[in-house]
Amino acid sequence: MSAEAGTGAGRHIALPEIDSTNAEGFRRAPALDGPTWIVAGLQTAGRGRRARPWVSPRGNFHGTLVLKPSGPPEQVALRSFAAALALRDALVQLTGLPASFALKWPNDVLCNGGKLAGILLESQGLGGPDPVLCIGIGVNLIAAPDPALVEPGAVPPVSLLQETGLRITPEGFLVALAPAYARWEARFTAGGFAPLRAEWLAHAARLGEVIRARTGAETREGRFESIDASGNLILRTPQATLAIPAAEVFF
């Protein structure tokens, strides 16, 4: 069973349970004619970056925005920054606590320094006649994974309820998130990445500080200087200034 409604920023399909909202997004994409949010009460096979399991208990937000964007893959991928900015906007709107939320490169949202939300972009057919982009978003609204299960050095997970005392339903969160994303999508379409980059940097966690970036078996330590016009992490090490397109970042 599913329910369909409007969010004010695209269609909204609500499902009681699904394997993965991203997987469902790809299954439904051929029949969709506009931006569509797919939200599930429970995910049985949710996943994060590098195919890691994403714990998806009821009461947390598990959703995917399905888009059919034109443009080259590297440009389409910059929508991860639009999603991060929309998440922060929605959280600030709902809590009134702007100082609590920061953005961690490449695709996490922090609350009081802990990992509150993650973003997973997956795509098919970009640059072709039938492109599909699924922007998967998970937010720990009421529960977070056990910190003991997180690898050493990683940012510990937190929940919005734990950090702020506020209990927000997934449906209430989508009411704020969907129009927030629509605003950033419009800015990206009209003005390119520059306005998103500037706003993202204004809320970046640990900007100007020493961090570690792990790519495969190699870990580099340096000062987090910026992100460039392609969304790459700019890391200044004692040997060189590097532009890193993908990495795991540790504080």
Average pLDDT over residues 181-188: 98
Torsion of CA 51, 87, 67, 63, to 10 degrees: 60
194-202 and 79-95 helices cross at what angle (nearest 10)?
Answer: 50
- Where in the chain are all domains bearing CATH 3.30.930.10? 3-202
Q: Which of 85 and 54 is assigned the larger pLDDT?
A: 85
Confidence of residue 10 (pLDDT cuts 50, 70, 90): confident
- Where in the chain are all domains bearing CATH 2.30.30? 210-250
Q: Give the pLDDT of residue 62.
A: 95
Q: Which own/partner pairs from 238-244 qualify as long-range (CB within 8 Å, at least 24 positions apart)?
A: 244/213, 244/215, 244/220
Average pLDDT over residues 120-132: 94
Confidence of residue 89 (pLDDT cuts 50, 70, 90): very high
Peptide bond into 72 cis (omega under 30): no
Average pLDDT over residues 207-223: 94
Q: What is the mean pLDDT of the chain?
A: 92
Distance CA 31, CA 48 (A): 26
User: What is the C-alpha R_g of the chain?
Assistant: 17
Torsion of CA 29, 31, 34, 38, to 10 degrees: -50
Q: Give the pLDDT of residue 51.
A: 54
Total residue count of the chain as it appears in this document = 251
Q: What is the CATH number of domain 3-202?
A: 3.30.930.10
What's the CATH class of domain 210-250?
mainly beta
Confidence of residue 183 (pLDDT cuts 50, 70, 90): very high
Is residue 8 scored above 60 in pLDDT? Answer: no
Q: What is the pLDDT of residues 23-45, one digit of tens each?
A: 999 999 999 999 999 999 998 88
Q: What is the pLDDT of residues 141-166, one digit of tens each?
A: 999 988 877 887 789 999 999 999 99
DSSP 132: E
Q: Give the pLDDT of residue 228.
A: 98
Q: What is the pLDDT of residues 130-143, one digit of tens each?
A: 999 999 999 999 99
Average pLDDT over residues 182-193: 97
Distance CA 13, CA 118 (A): 21
Is residue 94 scored above 80 in pLDDT? Answer: yes
Q: Which of 168 and 50 is assigned the larger pLDDT?
A: 168
| Token pair in block for residue 199 | 């706003």
Q: Give the pLDDT of residue 197.
A: 98
- % of the chain with per-residue pLDDT over 90: 84
Environment class of 208 (CB within 10 Å of its CB; exposed 0-12, middle 13-18, buried 19+): exposed
Q: Give the pLDDT of residue 227.
A: 98
